[in-house]
């Protein structure tokens, strides 16, 4: 229990000893009980939603192309990797549709990588609101991930068009109806990462720099650009890869979009376990540090 919490309890105790009601007094900067914290988040659900939508609408407002960059950025990334790995290096590994493989991998990896790379700055980027208002700080993480999910809807639409028009073409199949399910699982995976990384970044501001290097390892260890299992056979390396939720995430996307099949249960189970477990753990981990988030802002 922090000194501020003990002081607040002493003041409330002194008031109650004099038969003065302290029921309407709530100490500022003190972590609420978990149930109360969740209730506060629910009460602010409309603000969280509107904040996310507003930031999506205004983030490119100073650019001449505006929100069109939500489509152009992921498209240019996918095209760049396709040119480098397919047209220049010829790294197709005898795959029938390497273009779709790269496009899906790059575009869907970007979202989770943003949570890893930008998560440590969540509280720093919201310091103006933290100074001005009293609210559950988890709102910032939730708003950030809703904002990213809204941006990703543009990227997903672009991805579907690209894999359909670039030879060999991939046309809609019944399994595409499972796309929102995988997308929702990715949202909660990203949310858990953001909760966890936000608190880590508050304690160790240099975490953002380290995540740049971590992102490179994840890209090559998750099968973003090539089927990693074709290059590695060491049992320890493969155990690490198959425990990586991003590896299973991309396998699910490629299975339902490219192959038109329902992927094996293993992929669903591993990704679902990571998404649920990391969201719960990340939220509790973030809530535990609630008292410290206003300090020094």
**Which two tokens mark 203?**
């304690």
Tell me what pLDDT residue 197 has: 94
CA 18 vs CA 12, 13, 14: distances in Å: 10, 9, 7
Give the model confidence (pLDDT) of 141-187 as tens digits: 999 999 999 989 888 988 898 899 888 889 999 999 999 999 999 99
Tell me what pLDDT residue 228 has: 80
Give the model confidence (pLDDT) of 13-55 as tens digits: 665 676 655 555 555 567 889 999 999 999 999 989 998 888 8
Mean pLDDT in the chain?
83
Tell me what pLDDT residue 124 has: 85
pLDDT above 90 (res 257): yes
**How much is the pTM?**
0.84
Please report, rounded to a whole number, the percentage of residues in the chain having pLDDT higher than 70: 83
Tell me what pLDDT residue 5 has: 56
Stronger pLDDT, 237 or 255, i.e. the higher one = 255
113: nearest Cα among 257, 252, 224: 224
pLDDT band at 279 (very low <50, low <70, confident <90, very high): very high
What whole-number distance in Å separates Cα of residue 29 and Cα of residue 122? Answer: 18
- The whole-number average pLDDT for the span 67-80 is 75
pLDDT above 90 (res 211): no
pLDDT above 70 (res 12): no
Please report, rounded to a whole number, the percentage of residues in the chain having pLDDT higher than 90: 39
Host H or E run for residue 146: helix 138-165
Host H or E run for residue 39: helix 34-43
Tell me what pLDDT residue 60 has: 59
């Amino acid at each position: 229990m922090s000194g501020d919490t003990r002081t607040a309890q002493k003041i409330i105790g002194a008031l109650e000893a004099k038969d003065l009601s302290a029921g309407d007094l709530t100490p500022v900067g003190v972590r609420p009980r978990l149930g109360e914290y969740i209730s506060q988040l629910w009460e602010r659900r409309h603000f969280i939603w509107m904040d996310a939508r507003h930031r999506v609408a205004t983030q490119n407002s100073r650019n001449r192309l505006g929100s069109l960059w939500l489509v152009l950025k992921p498209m240019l990334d996918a095209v760049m990797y396709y040119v480098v790995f397919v047209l220049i290096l010829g790294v197709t590994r005898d795959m029938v549709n390497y273009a779709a493989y790269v496009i899906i991998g790059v575009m869907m990896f970007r979202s989770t990588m943003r949570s890893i790379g930008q998560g440590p700055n969540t509280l720093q980027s919201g310091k103006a609101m933290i100074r001005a208002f009293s609210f559950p700080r988890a709102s910032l993480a939730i708003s950030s991930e809703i904002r990213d999910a809204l941006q990703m809807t543009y990227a997903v639409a672009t991805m579907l068009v690209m894999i359909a028009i670039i030879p060999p073409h991939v046309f809609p199949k019944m399994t595409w109806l499972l796309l929102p399910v995988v997308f929702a699982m990715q949202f909660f995976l990203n949310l858990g990462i953001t909760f966890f990384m936000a608190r880590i970044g508050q304690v160790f501001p240099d975490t953002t720099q380290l995540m740049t290097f971590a992102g490179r390892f994840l890209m090559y260890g998750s099968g973003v650009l090539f089927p990693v299992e074709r290059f590695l056979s060491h049992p320890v390396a493969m155990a690490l890869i198959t425990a990586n939720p991003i590896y299973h995430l991309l396998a699910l996307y490629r299975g339902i979009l490219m192959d038109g099949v329902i992927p094996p249960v293993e992929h669903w189970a591993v990704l679902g376990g990571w998404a649920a477990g990391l969201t719960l753990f990340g939220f509790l981990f973030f809530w535990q540090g609630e008292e410290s988030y206003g300090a020094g802002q």
